[in-house]
Amino acid sequence: MAPKDKPLTGKIDASRIKMMEVPRPEQGLIEGFKALGDASCVVSDVLDELGITGVLGASLYRPTIAGRCIVGPALTVRNIVQREHPYETARNKVNKMAEFEAHNLALPGDVIVIDGVVGISNMGGISAQTGKRQGEAGAIISGAIRDVAHSRSVDYPVWATEITPVTGKWRIQTVEINGDIDMSGVRVSPGDIVIADDTGVCFVPISRAAEVLRAATRKAQLEQEKCKVIDTGIPVYEVTRFQTDTAHKQ
Bind-site residues for substrate: 146
Closest CA to 96 of 104, 106, 86: 86
| Spatial contact of 164 and 121, defined as CB atoms under 8 Å apart | yes
Buried b (16+ CB within 10 A) or exposed e, 88-126: ebeeeeebbbbbbbbbbbbeebbbbbbbbbeebbbbbbe
Q: d(Cα 182, Cα 156) in Å, to the nearest integer? A: 23
If you ran DSSP here, which 8-state letter would residue 184 be given? Answer: T
Q: d(Cα 191, Cα 214) in Å, to the nearest integer? A: 19
* Residue 37: partners with Cβ closer than 8 Å, 6 or more residues away: 69, 220
Provide the annotated binding site: 146-147
Q: What is the 3-state secondary structure (H, E, C) of 53-75?
A: CCEEECCCCEECCCCCCEEEEEE
Say how many residues make up the chain.
250
Provide the annotated binding site for Mg(2+): 147
